[in-house]
Structure 1
Amino acid sequence: MELAPTIDGGRFRTGPDVAKPAAPGAFLDQFTARAQFDVLTRFTNRVSPGDLVVIGNQNTEDLYNAVTVATIQDVQATAGASTGEHRITLAAAHTLPQGYDGGRFVVVPSAQRSVAYACVDVDTGAGKLLRITRDALSPTPSCPSAALPTAAVLATNVSRCVFSYAPNLGATQESGFLQLQLTLSEGDESVPLTLGAHVDNVP
């Protein structure tokens, strides 16, 4: 199972501050490419140059084809309600996807743009659940064998491992459900474990 993790996100300015025409703020819209925007909410985690801003994913290909992705060049704290909490400078000018008016974005870390979870050697007495990270986004999921020896080990003695994902095909399409079923065995004893999570930023 592979995903693009997020470390933070928030709301951005989608239009100028009409009450202050001399200092309208930095905003993004669908009509003009711009390289700066004001963040109206405070970050919880550190956002750094090189991280990715993702805005308005409309389908499962947008992220991997870089349609909705921009690279952060600089992050500055700002003061005052009219400017918001932060100002982000992008490495290249960006426009919003056509039809998107949500004003929300998420941040993907530069060092872990892709995270995969994989089970190996299941039901051999040496089964493991691994976490593999990559610094690139790819439309083709991969768990390269060369990365397995250095991958983080999350669980051992894995005798059963099942990943399942159920997308929401309704009108919103933003509440898929991901589930992991593990069985850990040692000697003559086994313990089944189930973990589920809603994937609320899909597609």
Structure 2
Amino acid sequence: MARQLCQRSVDMRRAYGFTLVELIVVIVIIGIIAGTVTIYVGPAIQSYLDVKRRANLTDLADGAVRGMMRDIRSAVANSINVPNDQCFELVPASMGGRYRTAPNTTWDAAANAANKTQWVNTAVDTTVFDVMALTPANTAPVAGDYVVINNQTATDVYAAASTSRSAITNVEELPAANKLGLYRLTIGALKIDTGYDNARFAIVPASQQAVFYVCSGATGVNTSGDGKGTLYRFSKYGFAQNTSCPTPTSSTPIVATKVEKCTFVYDPNSGTPTLYTGYMQLKVKLTENNQSVQILVGTHTDNTP
């Protein structure tokens, strides 16, 4: 009886095992499944990763181009300088407005007019003037910013002894009750050309000054399939018109990396001679792991002083 129970126990234990044939069948099935995953699922996963990579590149390229377009559209008239198709320089304005072109004779003649109107007289140097309008609203320049008036060429605004740019030394907010204007700006002596009657001025922030975009090293892709170039944005280096692209340093702000190619083309007068509209074409190509995104856009800038 005991022998029968022992034999039955051994038989039950043997029932839980598997044969070599069963093992081989399982291995074959797993191989078939793995092959199916490799053939059908693998490319789908890789395609998803490629789409995600291109979407990220599109976002980066779009952000870089939008930033450049914003600066171009707000640039001081005739301030865009393009040494070659890998870089360009400009002077973005943060605000603009109109100044007083004639005195308020009624106010100035009044007995209580201790604070007389200050206007731009083109016959003499201007050192102070009243601001009559300013855009955007609820903004104001500060001492240290620069005022630019009647900039005719790309040379004027960058010159050390500029005939169109002057530093603001004082900003006075005028009382609304006397209707003299919004602000009174005191500037370094600036001789405004006789005959200039647009009364327009632009404000360039001291925190930025001139700006230079440089596409450095964009000469294709590296062994990893990534673009070799980098797009940089220089600022606050003063006002000095450059004849070549400056060399970036480790502290130069980066706009975009993995740049395979970029090209900047500028036409200072893309319309008729009376339109004074410049046109900048921007082409930027970013590449990562041999996946590329290229953006080609154009934007206008107002070159009317």
In the TM superposition, what are the counterparts of 1:69-80 in structure 2 within 5 Å? Answer: 69-80=165-176
In the TM superposition, what are the counterparts of 1:168-183 in structure 2 within 5 Å? Answer: 168=269, 170-172=272-274, 174-183=276-285
Per the alignment, do residues 144 and 168 of structure 1 end up closer, same or farther by CA in structure 2, a change over 3 Å counting? closer
In the TM superposition, what are the counterparts of 1:1-203 in structure 2 within 5 Å? Answer: 1-22=88-109, 23=113, 24-42=116-134, 44=136, 45-65=139-159, 66-80=162-176, 82-90=179-187, 92-122=188-218, 123-124=220-221, 125-145=227-247, 147-168=248-269, 170-172=272-274, 174-201=276-303
Q: How far apart are residue 160 of structure 1 and its match? A: 1.0
Q: How far apart are residue 202 of structure 1 and its match? A: 5.7
User: Unmatched 5+ residue regions in structure 1?
Assistant: none
Per the alignment, do residues 4 and 64 of structure 1 end up closer, same or farther by CA in structure 2, a change over 3 Å counting? same
Q: How far apart are residue 174 of structure 1 and its match? A: 2.4
Q: What is the TM-score when the length of structure 1 is the normalising length? A: 0.89
Aligned with 2:134: secondary structure? coil
Aligned with 2:250: secondary structure? helix
Per the alignment, do residues 121 and 166 of structure 1 end up closer, same or farther by CA in structure 2, a change over 3 Å counting? same
Structure with greater strand share of residues = 1
In our comparison, the structure showing a higher alpha carbon Rg is 2
Q: Percent identity?
A: 34
Q: How far apart are residue 2 of structure 1 and its match? A: 0.5
Q: Is the 8 A contact 1:52 1:71 kept in 2?
A: yes
Aligned mates of 2:198, 2:180 — CA distance in 1: 19
Q: How far apart are residue 46 of structure 1 and its match? A: 4.3
Q: How far apart are residue 12 of structure 1 and its match? A: 0.5
Aligned mates of 1:134, 1:186 — CA distance in 2: 31
Aligned mates of 1:54, 1:108 — CA distance in 2: 7
User: Unmatched 5+ residue regions in structure 2?
Assistant: 1-87, 222-226
Give the stretch that moved more between structures: 129-138 or 92-101. 92-101
Q: How far apart are residue 43 of structure 1 and its match? A: 5.0
One-letter amino acid of the structure 2 residue matched with residue 29 of structure 1: N
Q: What is the TM-score when the length of structure 2 is the normalising length? A: 0.61
